[in-house]
């Protein structure tokens, strides 16, 4: 997944899932796994009929947003509803004791978490013309 910490990723230089699959197929026979992918980020492929598999996460050329059920809590207390989200929810004050002069409860944290998830976009939008990677400080 192009997380781009160095801010150098460009769509023009991206290697697609189809191109990635061509490489091992030069020496191996790959067949799509028969089990349903569900919310897993990787598409699984059997190597030479199985039982071994290889997984490819192609979040740009084969997005799985509709099935994604993941959220991320960063080391500094930021909740991300998507790796490509342009905004984060700061849970640090709640996790460190509270806000507005009163201690935070588990319910306070759960409500903030839920509000973030309800605001999650339907897709990461990286293939849209106006998309940009998050610039989180």
Q: Say what the pLDDT of residue 4 is.
A: 57
Residue bearing the bigger pLDDT, 3 or 15:
15
The three-state secondary structure class of 43 is: strand
Mean pLDDT, the chain, whole residue set: 80
- Mean predicted confidence (pLDDT) in 57-73: 83
Which residue shows structure tokens 């990461």? 124
Q: Is the pLDDT of residue 28 over 50?
A: yes
Helix (H) or strand (E) holding 89: strand 89-90
Q: Say what the pLDDT of residue 136 is.
A: 42
Name the pairing type of β-strands 98-99 and 102-103: antiparallel
Domain ranges of the chain: 11-65, 71-118
Q: In which band, very low, low, confident or very high, does the pLDDT at 126 lie, cut at 50, 70 and 90?
A: low
| CA separation for the pair 57, 60 (Å, rounded) | 9
Q: In which band, very low, low, confident or very high, does the pLDDT at 23 lie, cut at 50, 70 and 90?
A: confident
């Amino acid at each position: 997944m192009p997380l781009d910490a160095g801010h150098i990723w460009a769509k023009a230089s991206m290697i697609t899932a189809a191109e990635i699959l061509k490489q091992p197929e030069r020496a191996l026979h790959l067949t799509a796994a028969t089990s349903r992918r569900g919310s897993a980020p990787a598409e699984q492929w059997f190597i030479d009929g199985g039982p071994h598999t290889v997984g490819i996460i192609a979040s740009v050329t084969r997005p799985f947003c509709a099935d994604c059920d993941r959220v991320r809590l960063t080391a500094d207390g930021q909740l991300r509803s998507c790796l490509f989200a342009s905004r984060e929810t700061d849970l640090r004050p709640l996790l460190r004791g509270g806000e507005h002069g009163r201690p935070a409860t588990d319910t306070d944290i759960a409500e903030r978490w839920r509000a973030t998830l309800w605001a999650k976009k339907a897709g990461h939008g990286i293939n849209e013309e106006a998309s940009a990677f998050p610039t989180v400080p």
